[in-house]
Structure 1
Amino acid sequence: MKAYVGVTDGDWYRFLAARPAITEANFWRPSGSTSFRALRPGEPFFFKTHHPSRHPVGDFPYDRVIGGGIFESFEPLPLSEAWKIFGEANGADSREQMKERISKYRQRPIAASEDPVIGCVLLRDTRFFDTPADPPPDFAPNIVQGKGYDMSAGSYTGYFTDLVARLLGDGAADVSQPWRREGPVFGDPRLAPRRLGQRAFRAVVLNAYGGRCAITGSTIRPVLQAAHIRPVTRGGEHRLDNGILLRSDVHTLFDQGYLAIDTDHRLLVSPRLREEFGVGDEVYRHAGSTVTMLTNAADRPSQEFLEWHLNEVFLAAPKSTRDVPN
């Protein structure tokens, strides 16, 4: 199992540490051209403050591990989209403040009309420690972004066992065991790799579908929404295979049962749509066609969730038939 220790911006840290109710975070990178492959979903990401050699020493816990979170995904997003999805979980109280903080780490300032793509390291279950910890013993002062570690390596096991336990908030974790891709890590459901936070769910679904509605093909971002197939309020989860990107009006029709997707990923349109409203020509044109699917089969809408929506939500029968008392 891997861990990553990332060097944090001081303002980002202070802002989020003062708001413990925010338990998701975007640990942004100033450029969206970089990637992040140091962790897999469900592995821990820890925050370390700058070494004092890079900043004046003051009333601040320099060169200390001050918290962490569980890695969900890395997504390049326009700054405006990152603010729309994450808001204060970006570590700022406004989009303008966020832009200012990102701008100081770029080679040139962000122009007033510019909406740059930034790298978003998406984290859930974030926690800031009451008592900061020492950094890993080999974390060099000149490391600017961060460093990855194999927690099962003998020289790191004891150190990271303590950090993981502090992050999870109870008990010790056995980091000597191999990380398992399917199912919870260490048997702890909080480390389940397929689980996402609410905000990250929106970002992951948006990028997974390439910013295109799976049914209509619309690419107008302001009207695109990450739809749950089985709502969280009815036993669903924030998971990519429980999500699909839909235009806002199509999302409403899907949630209210006028649309569904069968287990062969074909669009079904309820006869109730035309019967009740006399409209729906656009979606009827797509009836029976295969909706846009993701390349990775494991990320596509699961048959379990699709069957639930068909059985529990979809208005399959005309109103005159469905509403006749038994």
Structure 2
Amino acid sequence: MVSLFVAITDRSWFDLLSVERPDEVNFWQPSGFRNFKAVSVGELFLFKLHAPNDFIVGGGVFSHASNVPLSLAWEAFGIKNGVTSLPEMRRRIAQYRRDDALLDPRTDPPVGCRILTQPFFWPREQWIPVPQSFARNIVTGKRYGSDEADGRYLWEAVVERASLDLATTQPAARYGAPQTVRPRLGQGAFRLTVTDAYDRRCAVSGERTLPILDAAHIRAYGDGGEHDAANGLLLRTDIHRLFDLGYVTVSDDNRFEVSHRLKADFDNGRHYYDLHGSPVRGPQTGYAPPSADALAWHRDHRYLG
């Protein structure tokens, strides 16, 4: 049995993203104080417009949920938040929360992020009428199971309309039992997933100041690396820069290694040499460890030795 979640959204959010056709979207909530657990990774998250437009108009594959500061949500997703600017997103949050103090750009309120990959936006003739079980007094959304009639109806209607990368390659799966879908992470999903995987701490220094933490690709995306948590490390910004340039790496016994070139090139770097040989922290339980192949690639193709 798999689950589907039908969430209520604004028409303006849907209209903007249906034109942009992004590779991922952030279905955000104006209050970032609750953990979203209605569906699991790979299950479907569907968009329903506000009444009287009682139709499901698109959706995506659920990838990750996180509560992050507004600044990070905008930096990670930009227009994929369904708004055209950070000030507009701030105005909407202040409006929804009925708190004009949030209009002050010095505030950085938490935002609930539900990150969806492979989003799909249907033309009007493909919209799906919501089941009668979706009550008018529902405020945020409703979960359906594929083992119930309405859940199965929604699954079959979505599969008929959307091209989904199903978790099995068997031809019969298209009209067979509902199943999870392979999420293909975009840059924003990669960033927040890696950030949470490492408990918002630099894997090398332990730094917790979120604005200076980066989700670093171990094997660069431009060199064949993927937006996958196993291809990521959460690093302080300066360490990330040195990692990309090859002045530091992770040894095969999972320790921080600093190249002799750092001192040779800049006659400096004592702070980094103090970290040389320290263990590199792994992700939290439930997340894949860094890929040994990706780390070997970095040592062989980036590290200056």
Q: Shorter-chain TM-score: which interval? A: 0.7 to 0.9
Contact 1:152 1:178 in 2 (8 A): no
- Which position in structure 1 is the counterpart of 2:19? 18
Report the AA paired with residue 116 of structure 1. Answer: P
Kindly name which structure, 1 or 2, has the bigger radius of gyration based on alpha carbons. Answer: 1
Report the AA paired with residue 4 of structure 1. Answer: F
Task: Sort the Cα spacing of 1:155 and 1:66 in 2 relative to 1 into closer, same or farther, 3 A.
Answer: closer
Does the alignment pair 1:121 with 2:114? yes
- Pick the aligned partner of 1:159 from 154, 163, 181: 154
Structure 1: distance between partners of 2:215 and 2:139: 34
Report the AA paired with residue 5 of structure 2. Answer: Y
Structure 2: distance between partners of 1:11 and 1:287: 51
Task: Sort the Cα spacing of 1:6 and 1:173 in 2 relative to 1 into closer, same or farther, 3 A.
Answer: farther
- Which position in structure 2 is the counterpart of 1:320? none
Contact 1:3 1:148 in 2 (8 A): yes
Contact 1:47 1:67 in 2 (8 A): yes
- Which position in structure 1 is the counterpart of 2:140? 145
Contact 2:59 2:120 in 1 (8 A): yes
Q: Deviations over 1:163-189 (max 9, x none)?
A: 13423279995475364xxxxx4xxxx
- Which position in structure 1 is the counterpart of 2:182? 192
- Which position in structure 1 is the counterpart of 2:285? 296
Structure 2: distance between partners of 1:253 and 1:123: 31
Contact 1:214 1:292 in 2 (8 A): yes
Q: Secondary structure at the match of 2:281?
A: coil
Contact 1:161 1:172 in 2 (8 A): no
Report the AA paired with residue 126 of structure 1. Answer: P
- Pick the aligned partner of 1:252 from 210, 223, 241: 241
1:298 to partner: Cα distance: 4.0
Contact 2:229 2:288 in 1 (8 A): yes
Runs ≥4 in structure 1, deviation > 4 angstroms? 169-173
Report the AA paired with residue 127 of structure 1. Answer: F
Query: Percent identical across equivalent pairs?
Result: 40
Report the AA paired with residue 207 of structure 1. Answer: D
Query: For structure 2, which runs of at least 5 residues remain unmatched after alignment?
Result: 166-170
Q: Is 11-20 or 123-132 further displaced after alignment?
A: 11-20
Contact 2:198 2:284 in 1 (8 A): no
Q: Deviations over 1:113-132 (max 9, x none)?
A: 42210100111221210131
Q: Deviations over 1:65-108 (max 9, x none)?
A: 11111111001011121111111111111111111212222253
Query: For structure 1, which runs of at least 5 residues remain unmatched after alignment?
Result: 53-61, 180-184, 186-190, 317-326
Contact 1:160 1:175 in 2 (8 A): no
Structure 1: distance between partners of 2:66 and 2:36: 9
- Which position in structure 2 is the counterpart of 1:280? 269
Structure 2: distance between partners of 1:175 and 1:247: 47
TM-score for both structures, normalised by structure 2? 0.88
Give the number of equivalent residue pairs: 295
- Which position in structure 2 is the counterpart of 1:57? none
Structure 1: distance between partners of 2:188 and 2:175: 28
Does the alignment pair 1:240 with 2:235? no
- Which position in structure 1 is the counterpart of 2:129? 134
1:230 to partner: Cα distance: 1.2
Contact 1:152 1:176 in 2 (8 A): no
